[in-house]
Amino acid sequence: MMNKKWFAGLGISAMLLGSALTGCSSDNGGSEPKDGEKVEVTLAGWGGNPTEEKLLKETLADFEQKHPNIDVKLEVITEQYMDVIKTRLIGGEGPDVFYLDAFEAPGLIKTGAVEPLDEYVTKDFDVDDFEKPLLDAFKEDGKTYGFPKDYSTLALFYNKKMLSDAGVEVPKTWEEFTAASKKLTKGKVAGFGAAPELARVYWMAESKGGKVVTDDKASFASKEVEAGLQPLLDMHNVDKSAVEPKEVGASWGGEMFGQQKAAMVIEGNWAIPYLKDTFPDVEYGTAELPTVDGKNSTMAYDVAYVMNAASEKKKASWELLSYLTGKEGMKTWTSKGYALPARQSVAEELGFDKDELRAPLVAGASYATVWQKGPNMPIIVNNFNNQFMSAFLGKRPLGEALKDAEKQANKEIE
């Protein structure tokens, strides 16, 4: 009698346990697959607009056709890309190949989660073809950890109609720019739609000889950086000719520009397809950023494909990575001009330097600063942005805000 009860109890508990644990089975038992075997490689990236996604799928389809033994599984991470990637890498469930922004690269490379690619590179791959600054962003101690897929620089977007109505020429220098912005400010329209964050004002911050980062530490609380940034604050607080997106109920510069709440914005390549899709009626042009003291400057935002160091299909992953960043793959991917090709040969072939809207963006590549300054950048940026915003809104003097932000950032870095 007693035995029977025991048995029943055991049976029920085992069943419950079994059902509770079924979700936990592991599937990463395999090792490097042999040649000729079918392999599935996962590729993760952030989502773009529908056309961009179609282009990527097209590129991947070409690849699968040429490599019948490799299947590519595309995973799109739409929100908080880096948080998701980091967490998945920690959990051992990271994708084999993924996008990595140059800005996040040094930090991630330092942890050893990214595979160095030098030993895979063959002569056909032609490394020298990449724009050097873009490639250097993914180098650490002489090793290359990623190959750039594309990039974008910043350019001045201006509303043609508003400029001609106000009788303003496209500004070439900072002085012309502030004057134009003042003239263009009328009623609900601001002359300049600013983006008060470090990624966008970095070129201004260093325009007077200051350094934002020195030896991986924040060093922006200097007279020179302050002098570089103050003109932007004056546009907002003194001239009242600049606004930030939230002040006019927009979420970013492109939207503000499309809704014609700002006559000029400084944005990148990404704004061109957005404006075409969302605000096709806005007539606009692009120009190189206004020069400060006669010097050209702009930012370059650089994204690469990198390989997961813990991947079990490194050979197949390299096949994919080298195709996507190779001449053929990059040509398909950048053919519509949604992103600028990181290879010189592809850029020449596609001729974006002759495209009316994209020429200023391409021209910027030669003097651009790549948006990446060492492994501590995320901390520095977060602190800078927080304090700079209140200075931009005129809540506190710039020098004081920068000093506080620098102190806090360096404390967090230690």
Q: Taking the complex as a whole, how short is the minimal distance between the CB of residue 322 and another protein, in angstroms?
A: 23
- Tell the smallest beta-carbon distance from residue 274 to another protein (Å): 18
CB of 400 to another protein, least distance (A): 12
Nearest CA to 189 among 157, 159, 224? 159
Nearer to another protein, 356 or 414 (CB): 414
Residue closer to another protein, measured from CB, 113 or 320: 113
Which residues lie closer than 8 Å to 20 by C-beta, 6 or more apart? none
Q: Which helix (H) or strand (E) holds 99?
A: strand 97-101
Contact partners, residue 363, CB within 8 Å, separation at least 6: 288, 353
Query: DSSP alpha helices (H): ranges in 100-195?
Result: 105-110, 132-136, 160-166, 174-184
In the complex, the smallest distance separating the C-beta of residue 255 from another protein, rounded to whole angstroms, is 12
Q: Among residues 24 and 35, whose Cβ is nearest to another protein?
A: 24
The backbone torsions φ and ψ at residue 404, rounded to the nearest 5 degrees and listed phi first, read -60, -45
If the CB atoms of residues 334 and 408 are measured against another protein, the closer one turns out to be 408
Of 17 and 76, which has the nearer Cβ to another protein?
Answer: 17
Looking at the Cβ atoms of 14 and 76, the one nearer to another protein is 14
C-alpha distances out from residue 405 to 78, 107, 208, 228, 391, Å = 30, 21, 20, 17, 11
* Opening angle at CA 399, ends 398 and 400, nearest 5: 90
State the nearest-atom distance from the C-beta of 301 to another protein, in Å. 18
> Nearest approach, Cβ of 398 to another protein (angstroms)?
13
User: Which residues bind to another protein, rule: CB under 8 A?
Assistant: 6, 9-10, 13, 16-17, 20, 80, 82-83, 86-87, 89-90, 107-108, 110-114, 244, 246-249, 309, 375, 378-379, 382-383, 385-387, 389-390, 393, 395, 404, 407-408, 411-412
- Residue-wise over 310-340: b if at least 16 C-beta within 10 A, else e? bbebbebbbbbbbbbbbbebbbbbbeebbbb
